Amino acid sequence: VQLVESGGGLVQSGESVSLACEVTGFILDSYAVAWFRQAPGKKREALAAISPKDGRTHYGDSVMGRATISSDNGQETVHLQLNNLMPGDTAKYYCAADHFFPNSDFWEQRTSWNYWGQGTQVTVSA
């Protein structure tokens, strides 16, 4: 099982970023995938999760209304679009996967996700 993130970089406040998580070693629609981020000195924060099989999603409060998670099962890729970026969005963004789609009580916990990518850095300038 391997997850590889891409799409990070330097963006200006107010702009959008589209991140991709390409998965290999498993069939995407048999797993759940989530996006997290971690800024220096802060805890890893859950942003969004999706069940590619049936389209169920969760979104974190910090990105509600600004983020869209989607899956392209044919390309084995999960995307995260984040709009209206602010300097506070600067972080390393990670995707994670697990066999089960956690319910709303557990999806934000790191321990609900067994497979992790290496992350991609997003830096937002003021």
For 17-62, what is each residue's pLDDT tens digit? 999 999 999 888 899 999 999 999 999 999 999 999 999 999 999 9
Q: Residue 120 in contact with residue 5, Cβ under 8 Å? A: yes
The CA distances from residue 104 to 13, 47, 57, 60, 125, in Å, are 30, 12, 9, 10, 32
Distance CA 40, CA 31 (A): 29
- Per residue in 68-126, pLDDT (tens digit) is 999 998 889 999 999 999 999 999 999 999 999 999 999 999 999 999 999 999 999 99
Distance CA 71, CA 10 (A): 24
Torsion angle in degrees (nearest 10) through CA of 80, 34, 87, 4: -70
